[in-house]
Structure 1
């Protein structure tokens, strides 16, 4: 095996959360290209499962807990592929519901991983970014299910009566989770507004509890010792 590949594998083993974050960000850039075709949407669904598999590897959970995650992952993949191959959008609703649960589960696992000790590693800092992205994706899938169960849940400045695309819902999710506002997509129905409020609460609590703790522990780690008398 070439030396470059060995170095890459060593880096990957030291910082798996960094690799997870890179894959997630790559998905954000690639998805607009795949959004307009059935095959592209099925491919992105498989890509999402890859992200979840990486996240499960990052937290290194027990076989029992991994079984819970995979019991959701396998049906979601099958439903996504069936929806694309047989042109059955109703199956996609349940695939998105399962994928939302998977992303929430994985985000919770990463949060537990970051809070399990009082030391901050480089991988935990990368995990903070990966967890943020996982939460954004989880709520975006929840928004997608909401608008399919309750048509007209969201409106926007462009084509206000049309269903919002996946990228619009993901953009809304990132805007809410980061606390910058509602963007140009607005929840209309009570069910959509309830989900939006939950994400706003999750974003505030993530910054207040997880990120602030990591920052505090990092400051304590680099703070010089007081001089002796």
Structure 2
């Protein structure tokens, strides 16, 4: 019961934990026969948690649900009917969902001048949502135009979700680009936008929350 109450009190932490667990688990699955199916199931779980999270923010749950429903349908078609040619459409919709959820969390963090514990967790959850959103844009680009991204290993193979997710986190955090690089103009354009979004998020949102936290501590 105590754990359930903590989940209700800090849903942002639960969302971030689910995403991080998905990132850690999927590398063990993506080379297996049921890897795509397993990851699609993980994706559906994240969609459910993110939709529930939006209900606590200024965002509209019906909007996130309206985006999530087609994604779940497209994921289901890939799971049960092997219709993997739907991947670009699913990736675009899923990116849109994560961006809307991230925007809702940013509005939640910016609506007052106090940094609560859940808002600090929301800062981390928003970062992972943005990173996953851009990851799915990269997946869409790679599906439409194979070879849009290069890597130091498996040069001739299509880039995996894990590789593109790694690139997304590297770009969003401005820590570098790693061994996965965009090659085409469209891939580089999206990568450039992600770098800008990452800088704006860290300087405008995270810095603001840290400032409120320090201010609150100094007034005690």
**Band of TM-score, shorter chain:** over 0.9
CA distance in 2, matches of 1:63, 1:118: 15
CA distance in 2, matches of 1:152, 1:121: 44
**For residues 22 and 155 of structure 1, what CA distance do their matches in structure 2 show?**
29
Residues in 2 aligned to 1:197 and 1:146: alpha-carbon distance in whole angstroms: 14
The residue that corresponds to 2:79 in the other structure is 84
Choose from 156, 176, 191 the match for 2:186. Answer: 191
Q: What CA distance in whole angstroms lies between the structure 1 residues aligned with 2:59 and 2:170? A: 35
Q: What is the CA deviation profile of residues 87-114 of structure 1, one whole-angstrom value per residue up to 9, with x for unaligned ones?
A: 2221122111111111111111111111
Structure 1 partner of 2:7: 12
Kept in 2: contact 1:120–1:214 (CA 8 A): yes
Displacement after TM superposition at 1:56 (Å): 2.9
User: What TM-score, normalized by structure 1, do the two folds share?
Assistant: 0.90
Larger Rg belongs to: 1
Deviation at 1:138, TM superposition (A): 0.5
Long gaps (5+) in structure 1: 1-5
Deviation of 1:183 (Å): 0.6
CA distance in 1, matches of 2:166, 2:203: 22
Say if 1:151 and 1:163, in contact at 8 Å, map to a contact too: yes
Q: Does the 8 A contact of 1:153 with 1:188 survive in 2?
A: yes
Counterparts of 2:81 and 2:45, CA distance in 1: 23
Partner of 2:93: 98
Q: TM-score, normalised by structure 2?
A: 0.93
Contact 1:155-1:186 at 8 Å conserved across structures:
yes
Residue 162 of structure 1 is matched in structure 2 by 157
Flag structure 2 segments of 5+ consecutive residues without an equivalent: none
Counterpart mapping for 1:139-218 below 5 A: 139-218=134-213
2:12, 2:98 → 1: CA distance?
A: 15
The reply on whether 1:31 has 2:26 as its aligned counterpart is yes
Aligned residue-pair number: 220
Alignment correspondent of 1:220: 215
Question: Which of 67, 73, 88 in structure 2 is aligned with 1:72?
Answer: 67
Q: Distance in 2 between matches of 1:51 and 1:84?
A: 16
Q: Distance in 2 between matches of 1:140 and 1:110?
A: 19
Q: Is the CA contact (8 Å cut-off) linking 1:18 and 1:126 kept in structure 2?
A: yes
> Equivalent residue of 2:60, what SS?
helix
Q: Over aligned residue pairs, what C-alpha RMSD do you find?
A: 1.9
**Structure 2: distance between partners of 1:152 and 1:62:** 39
